[in-house]
């Protein structure tokens, strides 16, 4: 979807707890989804991806869930650490677009001690 | 992993100046690179797709004569903001994919452009 508004939604999580960041997408033709982490003043950093033929994928401390029925994507971070504090973006692309990405609005994750 | 380098990381210049930003893929070849623009507290907006050896594809509303893109080799794309004005001040980010289709893009660390 397109980015709107001037304020990123914020998720505040205590250190050690699990974080869940959600993303809704609108393009039913999208078949590849990526989560990126962006720290202040830096470019997005790849976290994990998932293809539309899967509904769950796990990485190190992170899990991505895809629900194509309701066009919803989530990122779960286990045992959240202070270093996880950043803005998280989901991105989507559809086949044949040479990886042209559409970014979601982003969520700021704040990890409290 | 794949590394994308962007230069300069920060530039301040006077209104009317043209500014060139470089995006390099350091350890892989990229036939396609992408240029994004990001305003504070907002998401990334795709400006254009840079294609090696051919013309760039611009998104709707992006002036191709204002934002000149050159992708002369498989490891370098440049974005030139011509006759920059204060409203062009933004964070410009490039990305590249190591292959076509469903491959994760890797991003540079962005260029903060401030026009006085």
**pLDDT tens, residue by residue, B65-75:** 999 999 989 99
Please report the pLDDT score of residue B85 as a whole number. 96
What whole-number percentage of chain A has pLDDT above 90?
Answer: 81
Q: Read off the pLDDT of residues A18-59 as tens digits, 9 standing for 90 and up.
A: 999 999 998 999 999 999 999 999 999 999 999 999 999 999
Q: Nearest CA of chain A to the CA of B43: how many Å?
A: 5
- Bond into B8 cis (ω within 30): yes
Q: Using CA atoms, how far apart are residues A50 and A92, in angstroms rounded to an integer?
A: 10
Phi, psi of A84 (to 5 degrees): -85, -10
Please report the pLDDT score of residue A98 as a whole number. 58
The 10 Å Cβ neighbour count of residue B9 is 14
What whole-number percentage of chain A has pLDDT above 70?
Answer: 90
Instruction: Using a CB–CB cutoff of 8 Å, tell me whether B77 touches chain A.
Output: no
Phi, psi of B68 (to 5 degrees): -85, 130
Instruction: Using a CB–CB cutoff of 8 Å, tell me whether B100 touches chain A.
Output: yes
Q: Is the pLDDT of residue A96 over 50?
A: yes
Please report the pLDDT score of residue A86 as a whole number. 97
Instruction: Test A99 with B100 for CB contact under 8 angstroms.
Output: yes
Instruction: Using a CB–CB cutoff of 8 Å, tell me whether A113 touches chain B.
Output: no
Distance (Å) of CA B19 to CA A90, A92, B41, B59, B69: 30, 30, 24, 20, 12
Closest chain A residue to B30, measured at CA: A98
Please report the pLDDT score of residue B102 as a whole number. 60
Please report the pLDDT score of residue A2 as a whole number. 39
Contacts of B46 in chain A (CB under 8 A): 100-102
Instruction: Test B6 with A43 for CB contact under 8 angstroms.
Output: yes
Average pLDDT over residues A60-69: 96
Contacts of A50 in chain B (CB under 8 A): none
Phi, psi of A53 (to 5 degrees): -85, 5
Instruction: Test A3 with B103 for CB contact under 8 angstroms.
Output: no
Q: Using CA atoms, how far apart are residues B26 and B95, in angstroms rounded to an integer?
A: 12
Q: Using CA atoms, how far apart are residues A29 and A39, in angstroms rounded to an integer?
A: 30
Question: Which residues of chain B, if any, have pLDDT below 50?
Answer: none
The 10 Å Cβ neighbour count of residue A63 is 17
Closest CA to B87 of B69, B63, B55: B63
Closest chain A residue to B98, measured at CA: A99
Please report the pLDDT score of residue B97 as a whole number. 79
Is-contact A42 B110, C-beta < 8 A? yes
Q: Nearest CA of chain A to the CA of B57: how many Å?
A: 11
Please report the pLDDT score of residue A94 as a whole number. 85
Element (H, E) at A103: strand A102-103
Instruction: Using a CB–CB cutoff of 8 Å, tell me whether B54 touches chain A.
Output: no
């Amino acid at each position: 979807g397109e980015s709107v508004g001037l304020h990123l939604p914020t998720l505040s999580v205590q250190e050690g707890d699990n974080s869940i960041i959600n993303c809704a997408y609108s393009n039913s033709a999208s078949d590849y989804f990526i989560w990126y982490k962006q720290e202040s003043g830096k470019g997005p950093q790849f976290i994990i991806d998932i293809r539309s033929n899967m509904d769950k994928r796990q990485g190190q401390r992170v899990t991505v869930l895809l629900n194509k029925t309701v066009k919803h994507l989530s990122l779960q971070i286990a045992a959240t650490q202070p270093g996880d504090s950043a803005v998280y973006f989901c991105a989507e692309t559809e086949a044949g677009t040479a990886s042209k990405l559409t970014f979601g609005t982003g969520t700021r994750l704040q990890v409290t001690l | 992993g794949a590394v994308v380098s962007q230069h300069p990381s920060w530039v301040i210049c006077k209104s009317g100046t043209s500014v060139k930003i470089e995006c390099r893929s350091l350890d892989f070849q990229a036939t396609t690179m992408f240029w994004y623009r990001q305003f504070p507290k907002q998401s990334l907006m795709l400006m254009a797709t840079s294609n090696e050896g051919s013309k760039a594809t611009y998104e709707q509303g992006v002036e191709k004569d204002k934002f000149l893109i050159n992708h002369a080799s498989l490891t370098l794309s440049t974005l030139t903001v011509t006759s920059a004005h204060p409203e062009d001040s933004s964070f410009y980010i490039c990305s590249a994919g190591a292959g076509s289709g469903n491959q994760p893009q890797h991003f540079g660390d962005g260029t903060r452009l401030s026009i006085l």
